[in-house]
Structure 1
């Protein structure tokens, strides 16, 4: 199988998909598979970029906080 070229926005898409998945299903229903499907990335990409679901959710919330803070400054 041929490798896909590196997608520089993949990590950001995963973070946004995490926030979208939380908004749609609630934080307790978030899984790696749901996030990967929403971000349209291979499931393994999540463990490539993040050490676990907790780290992924934490970073997604940090991104959300930074975006909201920037809007109100």
Structure 2
């Protein structure tokens, strides 16, 4: 069973999974900031519910900002 996410990482309509840095073997590009999610860096994988093909790897900080924007927080 996956570890419970912090409330500030959860967003209705999206699946979010934490990825431990020790499990990362490649580099990804964060869709928010455009910078690299480096090998070995802990991050989150996010996708719309029922659409696994749209999985994206985000920096945790960038995803938190996206959640706040989506909830209407400044």
TM-score under structure 2 length normalisation:
0.30
Higher helix share: 1
Query: Max radius of gyration: which structure?
Result: 1
